[in-house]
């Protein structure tokens, strides 16, 4: 696997498409145990990102991702803006001036992104947040790389782990974000942010395999 600058932009635009398609779905998930705006927030954010990159995408992968993160931060508000924004900015910092990345780079970038999310949101595994999709995905990716799987296979593992994580959020009590006000009543419902994270992994995987 090797992804260049243009491909990164393509992937981000595809993420924007997928978010748009799932706007209602994500919003409905958030309505049940949150405030019903996650799809709207993400759609607003990625719409702005698409416009931003059209106008000035930056010179290298680091730039692209930092611009993506900053645009998310500046346009979303709420919880997901700073979280996804920080994730993309940290990934961008990690990528630096690279014009091409491979699966090992991706693993490092994802590690930085997850660290950023945890630093910003103070959530840990089992708090019923996006961390419950991202952290298992990162573990699965790392393990697959260690086991010598192909990048394609490794990414597939990550996507599967993310969706397993999403599924698991149904079983647990929310301890961070708005859903935490519901305490026990949050059980049985899937976390919206974890779902959007899994959706992003799936989009990346699909785009790498086209």
Partner 1 sequence: MKKLINQPENVVEEMIEGIVLAHPEYVRKLKEFNVLVRKNSPITGKVALVSGGGSGHEPSHGGYVGKGMLDGAVAGDVFTSPTPDPIYEAIKAVDGGAGVLLIVKNYTGDIMNFEMAKEMAEMELIKVDYVVVNDDVAVENSTYTAGRRGIAGTVFVHKIAGAKAETGATLEEVKETAQKVIDNVRSMGMALTPCIVPAAGKANFTLGENEMEIGMGIHGEPGTHKDTLKTADEVTEHLVCKILEDLKLKDGEEVAVMVNGLASTPLMELYIVNKKVNEILWEKGIKVYKTLVGEFMTSLEMAGCSVSILKLDKELKTLLDATADTPAFKSL
Q: Which does 130 bind (CB under 5 to 8 A by kind): partner 1, Mg ion, ligand ADP, none?
A: ligand ADP
Segment interacting with partner 1, rule: CB under 8 A, options 4-12, 70-78, 101-109, 136-144: 70-78
Decide whether 11 or 73 has the Cβ nearer to partner 1: 73
Structure tokens at 149: 């799987």
Rounded Cα distance between 80 and 86, Å, is: 10
Give SS3 for 190. Answer: coil
Structure tokens at 27: 């919003």
Burial degree of 36 (CB within 10 A; 0-12, 13-18, 19+): middle
Q: Is 192 in the site for ligand ADP (CB under 6 A)?
A: yes
Segment interacting with partner 1, rule: CB under 8 A, options 6-14, 74-82, 96-104, 151-159: 74-82
Q: Is 194 in the site for ligand ADP (CB under 6 A)?
A: yes
Q: Which helix (H) or strand (E) holds 3?
A: strand 3-4
Among 37, 63, 107, 191, indicate the residue that binds partner 1 (CB under 8 A). Answer: 37
Provide, rounded to whole angstroms, the least separation between the CB of residue 7 and Mg ion.
31
Write out the binding residues for partner 1, residues 87-126 only, by CB under 8 A.
Answer: 120-121
C-alpha distance from residue 90 to each of 8, 62, 109, 147, 182 (Å): 15, 9, 7, 26, 31
Q: Is 19 in the site for ligand ADP (CB under 6 A)?
A: no
Rounded Cα distance between 99 and 41, Å, is: 30
Q: Which does 50 bind (CB under 5 to 8 A by kind): Mg ion, partner 1, ligand ADP, none?
A: none
Strand partners, 101: 3
Task: Give the residues lining the site for ligand ADP (CB under 6 A).
Answer: 30, 34-35, 37-38, 41, 78-80, 83, 117, 121-123, 129-131, 176-178, 191-194
């Amino acid at each position: 696997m090797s992804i260049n600058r243009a491909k990164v932009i393509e992937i981000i635009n595809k993420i924007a498409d997928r978010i748009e398609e799932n706007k209602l779905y994500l919003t409905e998930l958030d309505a049940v145990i949150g405030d019903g705006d996650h799809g709207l927030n993400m759609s607003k954010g990625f719409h702005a990102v698409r416009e931003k990159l059209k106008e000035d995408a930056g010179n290298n992968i680091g730039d692209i991702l930092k611009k993506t993160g900053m645009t998310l931060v500046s346009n979303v508000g709420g919880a997901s803006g700073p979280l996804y924004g920080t994730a993309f900015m940290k990934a961008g910092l990690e990528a630096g001036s690279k014009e091409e990345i491979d699966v090992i780079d991706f693993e490092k970038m994802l590690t930085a992104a997850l660290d950023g999310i945890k630093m910003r949101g103070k959530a840990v595994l089992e708090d019923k947040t996006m961390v419950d999709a991202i952290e298992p995905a990162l573990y699965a990716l790392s393990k697959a790389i260690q086991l010598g799987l192909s990048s394609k296979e490794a990414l597939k593992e990550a996507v599967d782990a993310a969706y397993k994580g999403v599924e698991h959020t149904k079983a647990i009590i929310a301890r961070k974000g708005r859903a935490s006000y519901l305490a026990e009543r949050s059980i049985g419902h899937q976390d919206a942010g974890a779902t959007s994270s899994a959706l992003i992994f799936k989009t990346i995987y699909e785009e790498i395999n086209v």
